[in-house]
Chains A and B, each alone.
Chain A
Amino acid sequence: MTETTKMNIIQAVNLAMADAMEADPKVLALGEEVADKQEGGVVGVTKGLSSRFGTDRVKSTPISEQAIIGAAIGAAVGGYKPVAEIMLMNFMAVCMDMITNHAAKLRFMSGGQTGVPIVIRTMTGAGFGTGGQHCDYTEAWFAHTAGLKVVAPSNPDDAYGLMRAAIDDPDPVIFIENIPSYWTPGEVTKQVVPIGKAKVVREGTDVTIIGHSLMITHALSVAEELAKDGVSVEIIDLRTISPWDKETVLASVAKTGRAIVVHEAVRQFGIGAEIAATITEELFTTLKAPVKRLGAAFSAVPFSKPLETAFAPQPAVIAEAARVLAKA
């Protein structure tokens, strides 16, 4: 039996960073408020790191997203492994040039002479009334860019394991933390979770639900509810959005013949489109119904509570889609 410790995602990411920094003096951290003088980040993910490893390695920065990612890229090209924090995913828009034109491309454009082993931590997720510029899911921007890897843990164990893998990875990794999931505790095994490997988190035979982050929490509750009605749901937690685990997804859908891809990002041109298209290309003749895509409304994230609730896929919407699909 693997020994486990109960903790939440904040603690799991913190522990993974601390363990990585302890193991390798080249691992660094930077971002707005990440040092202890500024309370170790707005929710405390990096709390204690600067006190333990020093402010040469753990740097609170000005509100300068371009310089934060530029500094991370430069330090990486200079032989270090920085974990940069861009506080909120919407703020990634401020430094997209550094991420997509530089971090993603330097390895290719230099013919492999340089690489950018950075991790960009960022948090997001609707539910706290933060409106249109503080809680978007923009993973598709990054998944669409060659040279970037994108991961999104749904639980503390994966948060630890994916962070260790992301820091060890020789390429830039976008690490997405879901705000509403932050405080949910879970058992942490401290095992590295390989990038590119999805996980079947619940086995079933009628419908496969594919997703990441908070949508997995939703899917698990939906599966419990549908089981009572005799609908058997299989759930795949992608864990890595890019490069995504086609093998695991296709094996599951080949078995169930029905698939729902769900994400909190807007549905239009979302990662669900890529996954649904691939399933259709590969498994057209075995599908019992068209692949269903669920995503947020094609709008900015609204403020008003009823609108915010209606914006992103809620468990009831996922359940209804699964019921309809199961009958097909």
Chain B
Amino acid sequence: MSNYPKPDAATLLEIYRKAALIKINDERIIKQMTAGRLVMPYYSVRGQEIIPSSISVSLDDDDYICTIYRGIHDMIAKGFPLGEMWAELAGRATGTCKGKGGPMHLTCPSKGMMVTTGIVGSSMPIAVGLGWAAQLDGKSRVSVANFGDGAANIGAFHESLNMAALFKLPVIFVCQNNRYAEHTSFADSTLIDRISVRAAGYGMPGVTVDGNDPEEMYGAARVAIERARAGEGPTLIEAMTYRFNGHVIGDAGKYMDKAEYAAAQEADPVPRFRSRLIADGIATEEQLAAIEAEHAAAVDEAVAAALAAPWPDEAELKRDVFAEEIA
């Protein structure tokens, strides 16, 4: 969309910095799982890196996000500390949730990452409540709800969009349409071709953008975030993307269309963005390589520390069930 605000060179570089970290982190997780050093359910985010990277450059630590089991990219883009994240993935006592939440429940309130849910669709009602809290606080804070195309067919989507619009809450609903809801293609679950048209049914703006295009994604998010900060209410953004792996690591994705899959891989958004930054003279090959090397070192350090960290004590079963420890 031509009338969207455009990211400047520094912002584009920042978006790349985040996207590259998400990609490297994802690759390291799969590597550690394959090597048997990390045992967990993992919902890969490869292919979806550009979406949260382009949104979060317009967010502060004070802004809230809620995400889902496939949400580690949203977390990294918002600034989740890698060491605590990896310790949590490894189920260690030093994890951000003391090893009690795991990959599907990463939480980091100091960076505004309030809830990660393992239930399809459940990020939205809670993000509405955070939007209400933000509205009451009166500090122009916003609340971002991330979810997938599958979640747009759950009742919580309808209830949340209606309530957010009714109360003019500062919520940005980000539907990351990666074309697959678990094993079911978008076309096999939804007759309309754009989820964003549903926004009109709730009295809010709705847009479909190429989520793999950093400029378009940045522009749409910027408009929605500014609208929310100005007290004008919520927006639904449908960010088109593609899931590069099966639903969960271990699922080979045999149900995915081969030609479509090959085309998506060919258009891998992170290397494509990388080439563009160099071609447009925004960064040099050396600069980007240095960023990537820095990320790789940081992730490797986090992995090593996590795998060497202690397991949680069994007494943790009685802690945090309630504020007061169970006797």
Interface residues of A (CB under 8 A from B): 28, 56-57, 59, 61-62, 64-67, 69-80, 82, 97-98, 101-102, 106-115, 146-147, 149, 170-171
Collect the chain A residues with CB atoms within 8 Å of residue B132's CB.
59, 71, 74-75, 78, 80
Partner-contacting stretch, out of B160-168, B240-248, B281-289: B160-168
- The answer to whether B115 touches A114 (Cβ under 8 A) is yes
B107 to A71, Cβ gap below 8 A? no
Is A74 touching B321 in the complex (CB atoms < 8 A)?
Answer: no
Inter-chain contact B107/A98, CB cutoff 8 Å: no
As a 0/1 sequence over residues 158 to 192 of chain B, the CB contacts with chain A under 8 angstroms (1 = contact) are 01101100110000000000000000000000000
Q: B225 near A: Cβ within 8 Å?
A: no
Closest to B323 in A: A170
Q: Which chain A residues lie closer than 8 Å to B107 at the CB level?
A: 106, 109-111, 113-114
Q: Is the CB of B129 within 8 A of A64?
A: no
Pairwise interchain contact B163-A67, C-beta atoms closer than 8 A: yes
A77:B114 contact, CB within 8 angstroms: yes
Q: CB-CB < 8 A to B167: which residues of A?
A: 59
B156 and A66 form a contact (CB under 8 A): yes
Tell me whether A107 and B163 are in contact (CB under 8 A).
Answer: no
Residues of A within 8 A of B321 (CB): 107-108, 146-147
Identify 15 new A-B residue pairs, CB closer than 8 A, beyond the known A73-B125, A111-B100. A70-B128, A71-B129, A73-B126, A74-B127, A75-B132, A76-B129, A79-B137, A80-B136, A97-B119, A101-B117, A107-B320, A112-B98, A113-B109, A115-B323, A170-B322
Asked whether, in the complex, the Cβ of A107 is within 8 Å of the Cβ of B162, the reply is: no
19 A-B pairs within 8 Å (CB atoms) are namely: A62-B163, A65-B159, A66-B125, A67-B128, A78-B129, A78-B134, A97-B156, A98-B125, A101-B118, A101-B122, A108-B100, A109-B97, A110-B101, A110-B320, A111-B101, A111-B320, A147-B322, A170-B324, A171-B322
Q: In B78-105, which residues have CB < 8 Å from any A CB?
A: 95-101, 105
Contact A66–B155 (Cβ < 8 Å): yes
Residues of B near A107 (CB, < 8 A) are 320-323
Interface string of B135-169 (1 = CB under 8 A from A): 11100000100000000000110011011001100
Q: In B110-125, which residues have CB < 8 Å from any A CB?
A: 114-115, 117-119, 122, 124-125
Q: Which residues of A contact B324 (CB under 8 A)?
A: 170
Which residues in A have their C-beta under 8 angstroms from that of B323?
107, 115, 170-171
CA distance A241 to B137 in the complex (A): 35
- 6 smallest CB-CB distances across A and B, nearest first, come from A74-B129, A70-B125, A78-B133, A111-B98, A111-B97, A67-B159
Residues of A within 8 A of B130 (CB): 74-75, 77-78
B273 at the interface (CB under 8 A from A): no
What CA separation (Å) do A112 and B105 show in the bound complex? 12
A71 and B128 in contact, given A109-B97, A110-B107 (Cβ under 8 angstroms): yes
Please tell me if the beta carbons of B97 and A97 are within 8 angstroms of each other in the complex.
Answer: no
Docked pose: A79 CA to B133 CA in angstroms: 7
